[in-house]
Amino acid sequence: MPALLAACGVVAPPRRSPEPTLSNLSYYRDLVEPFGLEVDETLLRSAPHVSHRDLVDRLVAAPHVRDSEPDLVIVAHALPDITPFTAMSPYLDRLLGGRAVNFGIHQQGLAAPFTALRAVSAFQRAGRSQRAVLAVLEQTTLPTPFPLVHDNHLVDSGVLLVLGTGGGPRIARVESVAATESAAARLGELTAKDPDGTLLVTGPWLDRDPLRQDIPAFHCNPGTYCTSVWLALARHWTDWRERYGTVLLCDTDPLSGGTHIAVLHSDRASDAAQGER
C-alpha cells in the first residue's frame, strides 16, 4: 500500500502576464469554434495566466520533494492547461532526476487524483515502484466561460505527494460511489468500525455533514475543484496521523455526480516514532 512520505501545496500564486496566452488565440479558436463557442479575449486578459508549469516549479521547490528521486511520476488534472501541447509529467520527472516512468491522467474530472492513487498502488504491487510522486494541478485560465470555474470563483492550485512503500499513513483503499448510489451510506460503513478514531475530510462539493453524526470532520473551503481534499491533506497530514487511525478523503464531482473516496490508515504510535518528514 502506498505510504505518504511528504506533501506540499500551492494556492493562488502570483498572476502572470497574459501576452503568451494571447499569442495562442488562433489555437484557442480552432479548439472551441467547432463546438459553437467563441474565444473571449476580455476573459483571457483578466485571467491569472498561471500554467501547469508554473505550479510544478513552485511545488518541486518544497523541502523533501526535490530530493525525492522517484521511479514513478504521475500528473493528474481536471482542467486543461493554459499552454497547448505541453506534457507535464516528463517535465516534472526531469526536475526530479529524469529516471522515472511518467504519465498524465486527465479527462476524468475530480476522479483523476483518485485514479492516480490506484495506479501507484498497482505499480507497487507489481514491484515496479518504490517511490512515486503524484502532482495534482489546477489552473483556471480558459479561453471561454466555464460555469464550474467562473461561477465558483476557482483559483489556481496544486498539490504534490511523495508516496513510498513504508512508514507514514498508508493509502489502504480507493473507491468510487456512482451518482445513483448513496455516498453517505458508504461513508457510514467506513466510519462505523472506529467512529472516534476516524476523520472524515469532505471537499467543497460534498455536503458539509453527509453522515449527520457526531464524528470528527474537516470540510474544505470552496475555491478549488479537484485539488481540495489533497490541499487539506498536504497541510494537515502530519497532525492527522498522530490524532486519527483513519482518514477518509471524500468529494463528489459536481459534473458527474460520482463520489470518490480514499482511505488512509495510520499506526499512530509507529508513525510518530519514526518522525518522518
Closest residue by Cα to residue 135 from 219, 264, 230: 230
Quick: pLDDT tens for 193-239. 898 999 999 999 998 788 777 889 999 999 999 999 999 999 999 99
The pLDDT of residue 268 is 58
Burial degree of 17 (CB within 10 A; 0-12, 13-18, 19+): exposed
Contact between 204 and 110 under an 8 Å Cβ cutoff? The reply is no
Quick: pLDDT tens for 119-145. 999 999 999 999 999 999 999 999 999
Quick: pLDDT tens for 20-63. 778 889 989 999 999 999 999 999 999 999 999 999 999 999 98
Contacts of 158 (CB under 8 A, 6+ apart): 9, 10, 52, 55, 56, 58, 59, 135, 136, 137, 138, 227
Backbone dihedral region for residue 103 (phi beyond 0: left; psi -120 to 50: alpha; all else: beta): beta
Query: Which grid coordinates are listed for 186?
Result: 458508504
Q: Which domains does the chain have, with CATH numbers?
A: 3-164 (3.40.47.10), 170-274 (3.40.47.10)
More confident residue, 16 or 273: 16
Distance CA 253, CA 156 (A): 18
Distance CA 48, CA 65 (A): 26
Please give the mean pLDDT across all residues of the chain. 92
Helices 52-59 and 88-95, interaxial angle, to 10°? Answer: 20
